[in-house]
Chains A and B, each alone.
Chain A
């Protein structure tokens, strides 16, 4: 047995997680709850039935100031065209045009700065990279001390509306400043579960108050990172560091949709010519094992008698009541309906390429 000497960071809700019976595990340098006493299955199903509250304060929040549209130097997303009051998904690209991270950026009404949220694992490196590349034009100021909560599920709107007037008017990807349970917040109608819901950014000092207010509502249960992962996988949403990484470009990642139309035509982003050439050698696809056994990340994918790819995310989908996976396969084997074999414990288990998502999204459009 190895004893870890890693010093883990804590979010402002650490004490609350312990009080709620959270099973704490290391994640991206933080001590985070993988589940609470209900367990991953119940937490997952509850989120799709009612509402789940997630602490995602480990993610990297920051504000970009200056010539903010210069962010287009490092992302193929349409930043300049993002309207006030809107949030958008973008890819952070390396100079070679591969994916350094994925992130959300928002333009708050009447404010010059862009509000950014990047993944926890790369937050320091991402912001350093943005600052180095945008030097002289714009600069991101990290606000890692802020907290971030996600409230997801069909009851999220009703619950949040009791504590934050005005949120019911938001549609998918809208973002506003609002007061939530008495705390100043940035609220966006977005999430990582495929369900309707909100992400709520607040000062660290207000995190516990807001979390307790929302957890006090009868529809809400606290949800850990275990269920967050099974929810996003069913929703067909990739996880950076697993489904996408610095060896993958936006075309291979099936994320061309996140590139703005103007940017596609201009090809004015790192790796633009290659990414827009339209013939990636491999593609990220959804995969449904046909039996009951899950196929985990790293599982070799076979077809036509040879290895044609590997599973990049895999597990059990409680809402589909079966195993689900995403994987990178050679393009000729990427069409939905293609039969594959997954090498699990020395056996070739049948699987099929499946269109994503596994569970339909219920965003409020």
Chain B
């Protein structure tokens, strides 16, 4: 079963087994504006939950993307190098950033579900 959960740093996480796909939410992409460059983590890198995992640059500024959960990077979206606009066009689909093999899959349930994230954004 695939489920998507969210963080208060505006990342989404889609879990399949113990592999998670991570990206930034539509809200974050809209706040950022046009994405011109994405720096992704290297395969094999271990990231701690909450640590900086990627950088996304808009025309005006660079923003950090944090690892929503800890784990080992198993892949990154190389298509973003040539087409960073995918992040704006389809932030929660083709604009994904990287994949993680989670060190603690149970921690996924602690993230916000879609309804909770929607309420969180509304309250900002």
Contact = CB atoms under 8 A, between A and B. Distances in A.
B81 A315 contact: no
Contact of A293 (B34, B39, B59): B39
A40 B37 contact: no
A2 to B, nearest CB: 16
Contacts of B36: 41, 294, 316, 323
A202 B57 CA distance: 38
A167 B56 CA distance: 44
A34 B34 CA distance: 13
- Interface of A, secondary structure class, is mixed
Contacts of B33: 35, 39-40, 226
A93 to B, nearest CB: 31
A298 to B, nearest CB: 12
Contact of A226 (B37, B59, B81): B59
A294 B37 contact: yes
Nearest to B80: A292
Nearest to A42: B34
Contacts of B60: 34, 40, 226, 229, 315
Interface residues of A, number: 19
A163 B49 CA distance: 59
Interface in B47-67: 55, 57-62
Nearest to A23: B33
A15 to B, nearest CB: 23
A314 to B, nearest CB: 11
Interface in A210-248: 226, 229-230
Contacts of A226: 33, 59-60
Given A39-B34, A41-B34, A230 B39 contact: no
A292 B61 CA distance: 14
A34 B36 CA distance: 17
Nearest to A227: B59
B57 to A, nearest CB: 6
Interface in B8-62: 33-34, 36-37, 39, 55, 57-62
Interface residues of B, number: 14
A190 to B, nearest CB: 24
Contacts of B55: 345
A46 interface: no
Nearest to A347: B39
Interface in A18-71: 34-35, 39-42, 44
Contacts of B58: 40
B59 A318 contact: yes
Contacts of B34: 39-42
Given A35-B33, A226-B33, A292-B81, A41 B39 contact: no
Contacts of A44: 59
B72 to A, nearest CB: 21
A316 B61 CA distance: 10
Interface in A293-320: 293-294, 296, 315-316, 318
A33 to B, nearest CB: 13
A125 B62 CA distance: 33
A315 B59 contact: yes
A41 B83 CA distance: 14
Interface string A270-291: 0000000000000000000000
A54 to B, nearest CB: 16
B59 A40 contact: yes
A316 B37 contact: yes
Contacts of B62: 294, 296
Contacts of A318: 59
Nearest to A296: B62
A294 B58 CA distance: 9
Contacts of A293: 37, 39, 57
5 contacts: A39-B88, A40-B60, A229-B60, A230-B59, A293-B39
Interface of B: 33-34, 36-37, 39, 55, 57-62, 81, 88
Interface of A: 34-35, 39-42, 44, 226, 229-230, 292-294, 296, 315-316, 318, 323, 345
Given A40-B33, A294-B57, 14 more contacts: A35-B33, A39-B88, A40-B34, A40-B60, A42-B34, A44-B59, A226-B60, A229-B60, A293-B37, A296-B62, A315-B60, A316-B37, A323-B37, A345-B55
